[in-house]
Amino acid sequence: MNIAIISGSNVRSSGNGSISLRTGELLKSRLKDMKSDCSVNLVDLRDYKLTSCGMCESCAETQRCVEDEDFNKLYDTIKKADELIFICPHYAPIPSKLVILFEKLEEMSYLGICSGKKNFHPTNGKKAGIIAHGGMTEGYDQRYKEDILTPLTNVMECIGMRVINKMGNKPICFGVQDFEKVDNKRTYDIIYDMDGLQQAVDGFIELYARS
């Protein structure tokens, strides 16, 4: 069993402290505890330079992007994975690299259908899930559901994924505890809600185990 966890943050300045990456690391540990024989690959989208889809249609024949080798590396990872998990922070509202990834996956799926190759796409039938997070301190459940979880679920189902988030009534997401203003910095320091992160991962694992 191969599982790919994709951390969707674009924020390079956070380094190894990226909350998306930390969520992925905790999730990877929990999955390994649950399925000791599984292989879990944590992918950091910050390591990839992705370019938007120009709809050139070349991928209909090659199943490769002729202009984006980094996408092809991601595509190979997705192809090898039996199950997929996406961690998506809320800003703008969905990070651009995650949008580009799904843009290309959906175009490849559509071209495959147009060519009569309905089952060639690597995401067909794959179990998948989403954890959302962001910078709100309260009342974020409905906001993240509307801005992240529902749009991503729609596109993931469009390319054949079986999205486990639809099984539960409670959105799998978390916010932050507070913000602190620091001298000589343009932005606030964020105090992350680590208990909320843990609860979101616990909720996801529970949903994942019974799906």
For 140-162, the pLDDT digits (tens) are 999 999 999 999 999 999 999 99
pLDDT for 63 equals 86
Q: CA–CA separation, 72 vs 116, rounded Å?
A: 22
**Is pLDDT at 22 greater than 90 in this prediction?**
yes
pLDDT for 36 equals 84
pLDDT band per the 50, 70, 90 thresholds, residue 120: low
What average pLDDT does the segment 34-41 reach? 91
Enumerate the H helices of the chain as residue ranges. 19-34, 59-62, 69-80, 96-114, 140-144, 150-158, 194-209
pLDDT exceeding 70 applies to what percent of the chain?
99
pLDDT band per the 50, 70, 90 thresholds, residue 103: very high
What average pLDDT does the segment 44-58 reach? 95
Least confident of 41-55, 117-131, 185-199: 117-131
For the four alpha carbons of 58, 60, 61 and 65, in that order, the dihedral sign comes to positive
pLDDT for 13 equals 85
What average pLDDT does the segment 167-179 reach? 91
pLDDT exceeding 90 applies to what percent of the chain?
75
pLDDT band per the 50, 70, 90 thresholds, residue 185: confident
Q: What is the overall mean pLDDT for the chain?
A: 92
CB 9 within 8 A of CB 20: yes
pLDDT band per the 50, 70, 90 thresholds, residue 93: confident
CATH superfamily of this structure's domain 2-209: Flavodoxin domain (3.40.50.360)
Domain ranges of the chain: 2-209
Sequence-distant (≥ 6) Cβ neighbours of residue 69 within 8 angstroms: none
